[in-house]
Amino acid sequence: MDRKLMEEICKEILLDLVMDSEYIKEQLSFNEQVGLCSWIKELSYEEVVPIIHELGVRDFESKFSKFIKYGMAAIAGGGIALAVGTTALVLLGAPAIGAFTLYLFRKSTDPCHQRCKGQKLPQTEKRLCKLDCKIKGVRIILRDIKSEHAKCIKTAKPDNCERGLTLQEIKWEKKLQEYTTEWQQLKEELAAEERARAEKEKAKEAAG
């Protein structure tokens, strides 16, 4: 697995936990939370993976490889009965499936983002291009999650499997809504910019 992608996923897992933890919100001021998030963002691969290890996740890389091999239902439901065993993993109290779906999302969107970066586009259009990538990536994740539901019956804990997949479905539906709203706003900005350019050209022609 790509070390840089692993590093970014570990950081995103930690950031999500910091933002969602009621205990941290009670113990730290807002500025302290911002400082903690900034510190996490600066961690290297060599620094962030040992943090995951220290918080209870051993052999993170090899276990992540099992995620890729066996799929979402196996992770959410404690493993495919008799075939997978107990490969389910809890990352710092968060479902391992969250890390798996994040990995799939990044793998599906990164090549698209690189194509956007390689194009000579105005800044607004480049942002729109990257949002297109994210929206397509989320739709792929949602499609994959929906297809995994049927496999829950084969897992050691079908109820856990269904619950885990449903929670992820809700999370990614929310992301789709956020990205779609941002895309629509950018579209409106782009249309306004085009109207302004057209009016400027029209005024220039009239003056000439």
Which of 55, 76, 100 is the last residue before a domain boundary? Answer: 55
* Residues 45 and 73 occupy one common structural domain: no
How many domains does the chain divide into? 2
* Residues 107 and 145 occupy one common structural domain: yes
* Residues 17 and 107 occupy one common structural domain: no
What mean pLDDT is predicted for residues 6-24?
Answer: 76
* Residues 97 and 123 occupy one common structural domain: yes
Write out the residue range of the structural domain in which residue 4 sits: 1-55
Of residues 93 and 175, more confidence is placed in 175
pLDDT of residue 81: 41
* Residues 137 and 95 occupy one common structural domain: yes
Of residues 43 and 99, more confidence is placed in 43
* Residues 116 and 28 occupy one common structural domain: no
* Residues 13 and 106 occupy one common structural domain: no
Which of 24, 55, 86 is the last residue before a domain boundary? Answer: 55
* Residues 73 and 46 occupy one common structural domain: no
What mean pLDDT is predicted for residues 15-37?
Answer: 78
Distant-in-sequence contacts of 12-21, Cβ < 8 A, 24+ apart: 12/102, 13/52, 13/91, 13/92, 13/94, 13/98, 13/99, 13/102, 14/40, 14/48, 14/51, 14/52, 14/92, 15/40, 15/41, 16/94, 16/98, 17/92, 17/93, 17/94
Regarding pTM above 0.85, the answer is: no
The answer on pLDDT for 179 being more than 90 is yes
Which of 55, 79, 95 is the last residue before a domain boundary? Answer: 55
The answer on pLDDT for 110 being more than 80 is yes
What tokens does 16 get? 């999500």
* Residues 97 and 164 occupy one common structural domain: yes
* Residues 45 and 121 occupy one common structural domain: no
* Residues 100 and 48 occupy one common structural domain: no
